[in-house]
Amino acid sequence: MKNSLPLVSVVITTKNNSRTLNQCLESIRDQTYKNIEIIVVDNSSTDNTKEIAKKYTRLIFNKGPERSTQRNFAGKIAKGKYLLILDADFILSKNIIKECVNKINKNANLLGLYIPLRWVGKHWIIKAKGFEREFYDGTCLDAIRFVEKKAFIKIKGYDPRLYAAEDWDFDKKIRNIGNVALINSIMYHHEDNNLNLKQYLKKMSYYSDNLNLYINTWGKNDLDIKKQFSLYYRYFKVFIENGKWKKVLSHPLKFINMYLLKIIVGFVFLLRKRSSNKHYASNNFPSLSFIIPTYNSESTLPNCLNGIKNQDYPKDKVTIIITDGGSNDKTIEIAKRFSCQILENKKIIAEYGKAIGIKKSKSDYFILLDSDNIIKDNNWLKKMVYPMQKEKDIMGVESQFGVEKSMGYLDRYSARMRITDPLARMLIAHNKKIKKDGYSLLIYKTGERIASGANGFLWNKELVDKFWDKGEVFEEANFCTHLSEKGYCSYAVPNDTYVYHYHINKLTDFIKKRKKIASKFLERQSKRKTWLDNVSKVRLFFLALYLGSFIGPSIEGLYKTTRDRDTCWLIHPITSFLTIWIYSMNYLNFDKKAVK
């Protein structure tokens, strides 16, 4: 009997969801409809998400960086006639899949189904959002979750450029080719009870940055777009249409609580949008070159290039230069697909690739980006260019590192440190920070050590052309300090402008990177000037003592864990000790080789 029923592929996207995944998978296993397969597509979780998933399915894969890419992968490999697309914090009532299959089988014109979603949690924000969500079932503010696989493939799944409104976009594409309907069985969304208003507003602000891309895809005159972004519909009509006004009258206190949250979110959104628009580049857009060194980067390069492609910036003003070190995977194929200029880097090492790219660049400015950097804000470029148009004689503009709760603890630690190296972080000079309109200006004293210039740094090419020796390598930290010696000792940092760097999945990755950096630095120091040449040995000794002691870094880690409310800082004493140990061993070994 089981095999006579159509197979349903249940797709779950995960990223550090160990807290909720077990309940989600348990509710799938308890379904009254049994002919199902479970596909879990993880995004490099660092908790025990994958271990939990293994108890319920063998179909566990790793993709990223966002849900759209994960879901598209699952849609392609799924064997089911139908797909049920879930988040890891959803819990199904027992008859959902059975009702979905029965309903869609009875109507040949149905391609997708809405499933009523109810939020579960104790916090007032969760209760407010949960009540609001009850008014959205089957409207343009909802999105289908159950879909025919043929239809999924026909519309090419989710738009990988979108991390906000990707469900609305998918829903619209399905409705364009067939009919959809609403079932009765309920699905529950378990939200974090530790959520506070600040976190919620930050989350909403993050998603709002991507909405323009969705709007531009369909056009501002699209009927659904008008409703989805209409104050009249979002704040009034959706709550009274089709007799829903009765629910408002039945629960007045819930409605007031919900409406208060909506007003706060709406106000913050409009304030953010108004503020952001002032801090974009003017219509006189300068030309830009992205310079990306690569070597077997097929796993990270598509997400990096998509972030550039999605920028709301004149396409004819942007050039992408790939300097490849002889990749034998699909890196070159991916670069060609994105119409990149591809240059050969025979030395493989990134610093040689950067030099090749800078020499080739003819743009007003250039940006050094690593292939594992991801830009998620479609207005990132405009925000980065803005300070360059306002300030004279700055060396460039630095993007902040973004931190997401879903990131692994080492990636979060690296982003919060800004400089992953605990020793280098303590050797750079202190700056004077001047807050401007939309950005901050970081000013150092002439000749002081400055370590910046990579991972999304926008360079003033005029200064680079003037003071760089056009050598075989471009080492950004060394060159920053060189510019400082010439009197160019400031750069800008825009507000709310982030690059997300996914590069350290486990502690062994951190160790390998420190070993590589130690070896490269000692080789460089033996051949040419570096930014650390003038550091006294006495200072190095005491810094090494501090970092290797565990005591100082432990106190610092505990303080910053409390300050940032992020346990990633608890790794600080371990990374500090490992850094000093690795550097010391490399120095001693290098010294012995030199003597021989």
**Alpha-carbon gap, residue 79 to 7, rounded angstroms:** 7
Q: What 3-state class would DSSP assign to 308?
A: helix
Give the full edge-to-edge strand order of the sheet including 82-87.
60-62, 36-42, 8-14, 82-87, 146-148, 110-114, 179-182
The pLDDT confidence band at residue 478, using thresholds 50, 70 and 90, is confident
pLDDT, residue 477, reads: 86
Mean pLDDT (whole number) for 510-536: 72
**Alpha-carbon gap, residue 39 to 59, rounded angstroms:** 5
Q: Please report the sign of the dihedral spanned by the C-alpha atoms of residue 542, residue 548, residue 549, residue 554.
A: positive
Q: What 3-state class would DSSP assign to 457?
A: strand
Residue 277 clears pLDDT 60, i.e. is over it = no
**Alpha-carbon gap, residue 224 to 218, rounded angstroms:** 9
pLDDT, tens only, 389-425: 889 889 999 999 999 877 888 999 999 998 888 888 8
The pLDDT confidence band at residue 524, using thresholds 50, 70 and 90, is low
Partnered with residue 343 across adjacent β-strands are 323
Give 332's Cβ-side CA count (13 Å radius): 10
Is the Cβ–Cβ distance between 504 and 513 less than 8 Å?
yes
Confidence (pTM)? 0.66
DSSP state of 280: S
pLDDT, residue 503, reads: 84
Query: Which DSSP string do the residues of 147-198 spell out, in sequence order?
Result: EEHHHHHHTTSS-TT-SSSHHHHHHHHHHTTSEEEE-SS-EEEE--TT--HH
CATH 3.90.550.10 domain range(s) in the chain: 2-276, 288-504
The pLDDT confidence band at residue 279, using thresholds 50, 70 and 90, is low
pLDDT, tens only, 293-332: 999 999 899 989 989 998 888 889 999 999 999 999 999 9
**Alpha-carbon gap, residue 131 to 123, rounded angstroms:** 13
H or E element at residue 595: helix 572-595
Residue 223 clears pLDDT 50, i.e. is over it = yes
Closest CA to 148 of 185, 184, 177, 119: 177
**Alpha-carbon gap, residue 56 to 63, rounded angstroms:** 19
Closest CA to 162 of 147, 154, 172: 172
Architecture of domain 288-504: Alpha-Beta Complex (3.90)
Q: What 3-state class would DSSP assign to 265?
A: helix
pLDDT, residue 289, reads: 97
**Alpha-carbon gap, residue 16 to 206, rounded angstroms:** 19
Give the other-Cβ count within 10 Å of 525's Cβ. 13
Mean pLDDT (whole number) for 587-593: 59
Closest CA to 513 of 593, 410, 595, 443: 410
**Alpha-carbon gap, residue 68 to 164, rounded angstroms:** 10
pLDDT, tens only, 432-443: 999 998 899 999
pLDDT, tens only, 142-186: 999 999 999 999 999 999 888 788 999 999 999 999 999 999 999
H or E element at residue 417: helix 409-417
**Poorest-confidence range of 32-41, 329-338, 578-587?**
578-587
pLDDT, residue 280, reads: 61
Average pLDDT value over all residues in the chain: 88
pLDDT, tens only, 441-452: 999 999 888 888
Question: What six digits make up the tokens of 493?
Answer: 């940092």
Q: Cα dist. 159→129, 165, 214, 359, 374 in Å? A: 26, 10, 9, 35, 16
Overall fold of domain 2-276: Spore Coat Polysaccharide Biosynthesis Protein SpsA; Chain A (3.90.550)
Is the Cβ–Cβ distance between 126 and 200 less than 8 Å?
no
Q: Cα dist. 320→132, 278, 288, 336 in Å? A: 44, 27, 9, 11
Residue 65 clears pLDDT 80, i.e. is over it = no
Q: What 3-state class would DSSP assign to 38?
A: strand
Cα-only R_g, the chain: 26
Mean pLDDT (whole number) for 97-110: 94
Find the Cα–Cα–Cα–Cα dihedral 194, 199, 204, 208, rounded to 10°: -150
Q: How large is the angle between the packed helices 537-548 and 572-595, nearest 10 degrees?
A: 140
**Alpha-carbon gap, residue 422 to 451, rounded angstroms:** 13
pLDDT, residue 312, reads: 84
pLDDT, residue 263, reads: 87
Q: What 3-state class would DSSP assign to 333?
A: helix
Closest CA to 224 of 138, 114, 140, 135: 140
Q: How large is the angle between the packed helices 409-417 and 507-525, nearest 10 degrees?
A: 40
The pLDDT confidence band at residue 594, using thresholds 50, 70 and 90, is very low
Q: What share of the chain is helix, strand, coil (3-state, %, to 5)?
A: 50, 15, 35
Q: What 3-state class would DSSP assign to 42?
A: strand
Mean pLDDT (whole number) for 503-509: 88
pLDDT more than 90, % of the chain: 61
Is the Cβ–Cβ distance between 321 and 355 less than 8 Å?
no
Partnered with residue 112 across adjacent β-strands are 147, 180
DSSP state of 408: -
pLDDT, residue 58, reads: 95
Is the Cβ–Cβ distance between 311 and 378 less than 8 Å?
yes
* Strand pairing report for 146-148 and 82-87: antiparallel
Q: Please report the sign of the dihedral spanned by the C-alpha atoms of residue 54, residue 56, residue 58, residue 63.
A: negative
**Alpha-carbon gap, residue 553 to 568, rounded angstroms:** 13
Report the first-to-last Cα separation within the chain, whole angstroms: 77
